[in-house]
Amino acid sequence: MILTAAPIGEYDRRVVILTRERGKISAFARGARRPNSALMGVTSPFSFGEFTVYEGRTSYTLVSASISNYFQELRTDVEGAYYGFYFMDLAGYYAREANDETEMLKLLYQTLRALTNVHIPNELIRCIYELKTITVNGEGPQVMECIMCGDREREKVFSIRRGGVICTQCAGHISDGIRLLPSTLYTLQYIVCSPVEKLYTFVVKEDVLKELKKLTKAYLDEYLGKRFKSLEILETIVR
């Protein structure tokens, strides 16, 4: 999937592509900005498909592409587009070159598809995507058992600093325990543990979404430590 595209010189484009086999790569699309170029329509963000590239000594050159989904719905929806830009920025931040990014690409694709589904609130999609992204990349919260003693039966509170749930017996040793609704904890467990294909198959009540948004923001502030321009614009739009 094309994550970003920028003009280079008079007629070329530089694109960043998230791939399964090579991870995140940069490629030059020669002449892609010429009106009659076959690369003009396939080098825009959100373009998903098969890309043929030539590997040079220091960079890749995009030769051709067969696009299976342009996500046209997002191109005509300002809010949806900026959710998409933010999601692609987050994917680009975590993705690495020469790394197997199959799960990250699959997650991004399914998430953009979810954005075109009017039955799932965009705020919920954002929470799911953010939590699953950091989980796929090894920084997700422990939500199935107490981090301190491994208990699975007792009631739990959530600690941002400890990175997961802590049972009531161990909770006296922490100062940032957040008590969650049972439905919120179950939602967290479902997001963290479910395969990507089953993530966007549910909605939650408003009180659960409110807790989920607050917790996800606090968790990312603690473990991500980066702000994206696309997110700043998005939060201005959706206020």
The topology under which CATH files domain 73-238 is de novo design (two linked rop proteins) (1.20.1440)
Sequence spans of domains, the chain: 2-69, 73-238
Using only the alpha carbons of the chain, give its radius of gyration. 20
Query: Which CATH number is 2-69 given?
Result: 2.40.50.140
Block means of pLDDT (10 residues each) for the chain, 239 residues, are 97 97 96 95 96 92 97 93 98 96 98 96 98 97 98 97 97 96 98 97 98 97 93 93
Q: Long-range contacts of range 220-223, CB-CB < 8 Å, 24 or more positions apart?
A: 220/130, 220/134, 222/160, 222/161, 223/134, 223/139, 223/163
Pair 11, 32: CB distance under 8 Å? yes
Pair 158, 215: CB distance under 8 Å? yes
The token pair at 69 is: 């989904």
Residue 60 DSSP SS3: strand
The token pair at 29 is: 């699309």
Question: What integer pLDDT is reported at residue 75 of this predicted model?
Answer: 87
Question: What integer pLDDT is reported at residue 239 of this predicted model?
Answer: 80
98: CB partners within 8 A, 6+ apart: 22, 23
Per DSSP, helices labelled H in the chain are 72-75, 78-94, 102-115, 122-136, 182-193, 206-223, 229-237
Question: What integer pLDDT is reported at residue 57 of this predicted model?
Answer: 86
Strand partners, 62: 53
Pair 18, 84: CB distance under 8 Å? no
Question: What integer pLDDT is reported at residue 58 of this predicted model?
Answer: 83
